Amino acid sequence: MSENTNFIHAIIEKDLENQTYGGRVSTRFPPEPNGYLHIGHAKSICLNFGTAQKYNGQCNLRFDDTNPIKEDTEYVDSIEADVRWLGFKWDNLFFASDYFERMYDCAVLLIKKGKAYVCDLTADEIRAHRGTLTEAGRKSPYQDRSVAENLDLFERMRKGEFADGEKVLRAKIDMASPNINMRDPVLYRISHTDHHNTGDQWCIYPMYDYAHPIEDAIEKITHSICTLEFEDHRPLYDWVLTELDWEQPPQQIEFARLNITNTVMSKRYLKALVDEGTVDGWDDPRMPTIAGLRRRGYTPEAIRDFCERIGVAKSNSTVEIGLLEHCIREDLQDKVESRMVVLDPIKVVITNYPKDKTEYVEIENSKDETKGHRMVAFSGELYVEREDFMEVPTKGYFRLFPGNEVRFKGAYFIRCEEVINDEQGNILELRCTYDPETKSGTGFEGRKVKGTIHWVDAKTAVKISARAYSYLMIEDEKGENVMNPDSIKTYAAYAEPSIAESKAEDRFQFFRHGYFIADAVLTTKDSKVFNRIVDLKSSWKK
RNA sequence: UGGGGCGUCGCCAAGCGGUAAGGCACCGGAUUUUGAUUCCGGCAUUCCCAGGUUCGAUCCCUGGCGCCCCAGCCA
DSSP string, A417-474: EEEEE-TT--EEEEEEEEEGGG-TTS---S---S-EE-EEETTTPEEEEEEEE--SEE
Q: Which nucleotide is nearest to A7 (CA to C1')?
A: B14
Question: Quick one: average pLDDT of A98-122?
Answer: 98
A307 touches strand B (CB under 7 A): no
A406 touches strand B (CB under 7 A): no
Which helix (H) or strand (E) is A333 found in, with range? helix A321-333
Q: Which nucleotide is nearest to A211 (CA to C1')?
A: B75
Q: Note the CA–C1' distance, A163 to B74, in angstroms.
A: 19
Catalytic site positions of A:
32, 257, 267
Which 3 state secondary structure label does DSSP give A295? helix
Q: What's the pLDDT at A514?
A: 53
Supply the DSSP string of A359-428, one letter for each residue: EEEEEES-SSGGG-EEEEEEESEEEEEGGGB-SSPPTT--SB-TT-EEEETTS-EEEEEEEEE-TT--EE
A529 touches strand B (CB under 7 A): no
Q: Note the CA–C1' distance, A70 to B32, in angstroms.
A: 55
Window 77-136 of chain A: CB closer than 7 A to strand B: 121-123, 126-127, 130, 132-134
**Mean pLDDT of all residues belonging to chain A:** 91
A164 touches strand B (CB under 7 A): yes
A187 touches strand B (CB under 7 A): no
Convert the pLDDT of each residue in A185-208 to its tens digit.
999 999 999 999 999 999 999 999
Q: How far apart are CA A256 and CA A46, in angstroms?
A: 14
Confidence band of A513 (pLDDT split at 50, 70, 90): low
Question: Quick one: average pLDDT of A2-13?
Answer: 88
User: In whole angstroms, what separates CA A41 from the centre of its chain?
Assistant: 7
Q: Note the CA–C1' distance, A2 to B30, in angstroms.
A: 33
Q: Which nucleotide is nearest to A254 (CA to C1')?
A: B5
A180 touches strand B (CB under 7 A): yes
Nearest residue to A107 (alpha-carbon basis) of A234, A240, A201: A240
Convert the pLDDT of each residue in A450-493 to its tens digit.
999 999 999 999 887 777 777 888 887 777 788 988 888 888 88
Supply the DSSP string of A202-246, one letter for each residue: -SEEE-HHHHHHHHHHHTT-SEEEEEGGGGGGHHHHHHHHHHTT-
Total-model pTM: 0.93
Q: Note the CA–C1' distance, A317 to B5, in angstroms.
A: 13
Question: Quick one: average pLDDT of A281-310?
Answer: 94
Q: How far apart are CA A107 and CA A118, in angstroms?
A: 11
Chain B positions within 7 A of any protein Cβ atom are 2-8, 10-16, 22-25, 33-38, 67-75
State the complex-level ipTM.
Answer: 0.97
Question: Quick one: average pLDDT of A403-431?
Answer: 97
